[in-house]
A = this chain, B = another copy of it.
Amino acid sequence: LPEESQPAPLQIVLVSPRNPLNIGAAARAMANFGFTHLTVVAPYAPHWQEARSAVGASDLLQNAKVTESLAGAVADCTLVVGTGTLTHRKPEQPVVALPDLPSRLSPEIERGGRVALVFGPEKHGLTREDLSCCHLLVEIPTHPRQPSMNLGQAVAVCLYQLAARLTAPARDNTQPHPSSSRPAALTAPSADLDLLSGVIEKVMLAARYSPTSMQGANRHDLRLFLRRLALTRRDARRVLGFFRRVLHRLERRPE
């Protein structure tokens, strides 16, 4: 593969994962967010085989690198980031909150560095020895009552955050992008709304909803109301058709 010849800017490392479902979930999250380079350190052999031979197991799992040690896995990396719950240990490295990780990694990747993001085993996380391979720790801001995340979910959350910002550093994620959804349909011009108001007002009268004393107030409210709704031209046309039909039926009624 041509991709293989290029060094991966970010590689995901799973240290001794136990649950084949978690391995599969980690691989799926990688595919979801466009990451391709997985390394598995000292996997428990039967579970690793199970994960790789699962129905629908990805190329990504087939192509995963397997190493004996974390040191071997991250040998060519210029920045190694450990993950895990920090509640019960005093971190020895700088700790970065996950939302701030992209801005910490981007300069490293831009200057050609290689970054590894390392996840420990499900039960106890990265050991003290594993952590000694890490330049930096990342903390997912979780609730103090349930700080520990499932492995597959932790991978998904980290890669979501990294994909959103690493691949498009120029994009400012704090801005709402109302235009990104789809081109907004054209709003109905005032004339369409006035036409619609007129017909609805006739329906109000025909249905005896609007007594004479309230007619002016209701007309006013109706006009403001229709403007607030931001109807499209198509909306206005459909609603008009509906009210014309209603008016027609009401007026056919003999008094």
Given known pairs A141-B163, A146-B31, A176-B103, the reply for A246 and B235 (CB within 8 Å) is no
Segment at the interface with B among A47-55, A64-72, A191-199, A205-213: A205-213
Is A182 interfacial (CB 8 A cutoff)? yes
Is A104 interfacial (CB 8 A cutoff)? yes
What residues of chain B lie closer than 8 Å to A31, measured between beta carbons? 143, 145-146
**CA distance in complex: A160, B150 (Å):** 13
Q: Mark A9-32, 1 if CB is under 8 A from B, else 0.
A: 000000000000100010011011
B246→A103 contact, CB < 8 A: no
Q: Which residue of B lies closest to A21 (CB)?
A: B21
What residues of chain B lie closer than 8 Å to A173, measured between beta carbons? 99-100
A209→B163 contact, CB < 8 A: no
Q: Kindly provide the distance from the CB of A138 to the nearest chain B CB, expressed in whole angstroms.
A: 10
Q: Which residue of B lies closest to A221 (CB)?
A: B238
Q: Kindly provide the distance from the CB of A192 to the nearest chain B CB, expressed in whole angstroms.
A: 16
**CA distance in complex: A100, B176 (Å):** 5
Copies of this protein in the complex = 2
CB-contact partner of A245 in B32, B91, B207, under 8 A: B207
Is A177 interfacial (CB 8 A cutoff)? yes
Q: Which residue of B lies closest to A206 (CB)?
A: B249
Q: Which residue of B lies closest to A239 (CB)?
A: B225
B25→A104 contact, CB < 8 A: no
**CA distance in complex: A174, B245 (Å):** 47
CB-contact partner of A177 in B100, B231, B241, B253, under 8 A: B100
What residues of chain B lie closer than 8 Å to A29, measured between beta carbons? 149-150, 153
A203→B153 contact, CB < 8 A: no
What residues of chain B lie closer than 8 Å to A28, measured between beta carbons? 146, 149-150, 153
25 A-B pairs with C-beta separation under 8 A:
A28-B149, A28-B150, A28-B153, A29-B150, A32-B153, A33-B143, A91-B181, A94-B181, A95-B181, A95-B182, A96-B181, A99-B164, A100-B173, A100-B176, A150-B156, A154-B156, A160-B161, A203-B246, A207-B249, A221-B238, A229-B229, A250-B250, A252-B253, A253-B253, A253-B254
